[in-house]
Amino acid sequence: MAAAKERKQYVCSACGSTQLRWAGKCPECGEWNTLTEVVVRAPEKAGLSWRLRRV
């Protein structure tokens, strides 16, 4: 079975909002230098890889 795909998100340590890109200033609360990188593992979809192989 295929491995789950990992992607990065950035979480504000002041307000907890999540962003897809890093920025110096959190767009939600306006605090500077509070976004920290977190690696998120996307869940696997059951049977999707099997169906893709058969096509």
Give the model's pLDDT for residue 22.
95
Give the model's pLDDT for residue 55.
42
- Is residue 38 a part of any domain in this protein? yes
Give the count of domains, the chain.
1
Mean pLDDT, 10 residues at a time, over the chain (55 residues)? 78 96 96 95 64 49
Range(s) of the domain holding residue 33: 6-54
What b/e string do you get for 17-39 counting C-beta neighbours within 10 Å, with b at 16 or more?
eeeeeeeeebeeeeeeebbeeee
- Is residue 32 a part of any domain in this protein? yes
- Is residue 1 a part of any domain in this protein? no
Give the model's pLDDT for residue 6.
86
